[in-house]
Amino acid sequence: MRDMTEGSPFSHLWRYALPLLLANWLQLAYNAVDSMIAGRFIGQNALAAEGIAAPVMNLVILSISGLCIGAGILMSEHFGAKDMPSLRKTVAVTLRSGILLSGLLAMAGFLLSGSIMKWMGVPDDISGITAVYLRITFLGAPFTFTYNALAAVMKSVGDSKTPLKFLAFCSILNAVLDLILLGIFHMGIITSASTTLFAEAASAFLAIRYLIVKNPELLPSGSEWNYDRDVFRDVVHYGAPTAIQQAIQPIGKVLIQGQVNLLGVSSIAAFHAVTRADDFACIPEQGISSAISTYIAQNRGAGKEKRIRKGFYTGIAMEVSYGCLIALITFALRAFIVGMFVSGEAAEDVVAIGSNYLSLMAFLYILPGLTNGFQGFFRGMGRMRMTIIGTAVQISFRTLFTYILAPKIGIRGVAMGSGIGWGLMLLIEVPAALWSLRKIRLKSEQDFS
């Protein structure tokens, strides 16, 4: 456990964020391994199929993680206030409601995968294998929720290292299974989806076992499992807006994917490869954002307003520094990055298309770093509505300009649309955050006087 209400803000944020950065990279790694092995050992159609399925599954995963992130902020407040009974009741309500919802979501997704393919305008030659891949991955929703919920419990008390260990094990497990079953035995895309499902189940089991054995004081027992209307209302207040905010983004990406699907299989495959690169570049920025949220929530629960301001400014500096570094790395290695995902006759076209995209997108990565920093601030302060407004503005204009620009200049238009969306999001978030920070400063000055 890590109490962030005392000590250096930079030390807390860095030590908390680093395992999250590694965990996010590992999460992406076993998704990328699926894509690389599918593209090299099954073929371009399999890579395109996984690319089409990815934004759909991201919608599910991010909605689930959004609910857990919101509930985790509430848990962090209780931990900062040293109110462990309320923390355990929050855990109980989150698990009961989330497992039910994720189970229903898995069933709906399994039954509607074929309709989703038609709605997205997937080419006929890959719609069949894409629907099968999607059905299997939908079944992992309850496992994904269970892991994310229990990881949120650990993170709320400052433990971001243990979830990293679970992800590391499962990433290696998934990679080994893929290499053996796809690379050596040449099995198909069903196996690729099944290995991911197995890895998700393993991560959920490890999280359950760890908390039962190592931190039983964080788990509810006896009457704490009983339904509590007030706690449920609080979980919905924090979790539902964050789930909506997290879901808005992949909804826009599904629409963007629909536009990319009109550009042909080579562009679909290239876009899937560069989207993986975007994820590796940008998701660590979300790890820093999570550190900001937890730090602010704990200090808000403890009533330490002055530390909130210091922690936020420190977090923003970390976001900017990381954004600059990853921009240079991505630009320098753009052709190599795309080339990892493809081989064969179509590789040259795919690499050329993807490299053209990354040559622009690399220098825009600082913008989501800033937006994630501000989102972390608003979540930590309990201002969930602002996170929804900012994300809705960003993805709406991102999608709009993609539909305007992509038919004219290909997937490079997606990069331009992304930059416009992030810029407009900052125009809304920056004034709102400065207003909140001013209120915090005035309150801390009054308390001091």
Alpha helix (H) ranges present in 302-383? 305-332, 334-339, 347-361, 366-380
pLDDT of residue 42: 67
Is 1 within a domain?
Answer: no
- Flag whether 229 is in a domain: yes
Cα gap 356→360, rounded to integer Å: 7
Q: Which structural domain range is residue 21 located in?
A: 10-448
In this predicted model, which residue has the larger pLDDT, 363 or 253?
363
pLDDT attached to residue 400: 94
The reported pLDDT for the residue numbered 31 is: 65
Q: Which of 257, 262, 276, 200 is nearest to 38 (CA)?
A: 276
What's CA 101's distance to the chain center, in Å? 19
Q: What is the CA radius of gyration of the chain?
A: 21
- In angstroms, how far is the first alpha carbon of the chain from the final one? 33
373: confidence class by pLDDT, cuts 50, 70, 90: very high
pLDDT in tens, 303-335: 888 889 899 999 999 999 999 999 999 999 988
pLDDT of residue 211: 93
Query: pLDDT band for position 344 (50/70/90)?
Result: low
Q: What pLDDT is stored for residue 2 in this prediction? A: 75
Lowest mean pLDDT among 104-108, 234-238, 342-346, 364-368: 342-346
Least confident of 91-95, 144-148, 265-269: 265-269
| Confidence at residue 441, expressed as pLDDT on a 0 to 100 scale | 78
CA atoms within 13 A on the CB side of 81: 15
What was the pLDDT predicted at 262? Answer: 84
Mean pLDDT is highest, among 192-201, 255-264, 430-439, for 430-439
The whole-angstrom separation of Cα 404 and Cα 367 is: 21
pLDDT category of residue 423 using cuts at 50, 70 and 90: very high
- The reported pLDDT for the residue numbered 287 is 85
pLDDT above 60 (res 449) = no
Query: Rounded to whole angstroms, how far apart are CA atoms 358 and 334?
Result: 6
Domain membership flag for residue 415: yes
**What pLDDT was estimated at residue 339?**
84
What's the sign of the alpha-carbon dihedral 220, 226, 229, 233? positive
In a domain, 2, yes or no: no
What is residue 425's predicted lDDT score, i.e. its pLDDT?
96
Percentages of the chain per state (helix, strand, coil), in multiples of 5: 90, 0, 10
Find out whether 79 and 301 touch, Cβ atoms under 8 Å. Answer: yes
Q: How far apart are the C-alpha atoms of 142 and 445, rounded to whole Å?
A: 47
Query: Which pLDDT tens digit goes with each residue over 18-42?
Result: 887 777 777 666 666 666 676 666 6
Total count of residues recorded for the chain: 449
Domain count, the chain: 1
Question: Is residue 71 within 8 Å of residue 101, measured between CB atoms?
Answer: no
> 447 pLDDT band (50/70/90 cuts)?
low
Is pLDDT at 48 greater than 80 in this prediction?
no
Tens-digit pLDDT profile for residues 266-283? 888 888 788 878 888 887
Distance separating alpha carbons of residues 89 and 58, to the nearest angstrom: 29
The answer to the question of residue 3 being in a domain is: no
Model pLDDT, residue 29: 66
pLDDT at 127: 86
Q: Give the mean pLDDT of 153-179.
A: 85
Task: Tell me, yes or no, whether 314 lies in a domain.
Answer: yes
Residue 448 predicted with pLDDT over 60? no
Q: Mean per-residue pLDDT for 91-111? A: 92
For residues 257 and 395, give the distance between their C-alpha atoms in angstroms, rounded to a whole number: 13
Token pair, residue 401, equals 């300009």
Band of pLDDT at residue 185, cut at 50, 70 and 90 = low
pLDDT of residue 345: 65
What is the average pLDDT value for the chain, to the nearest integer?
86
- Return the closest-CA partner of residue 73 out of 433, 287, 382, 387: 382
For residue 303, the 8-state DSSP code is: T
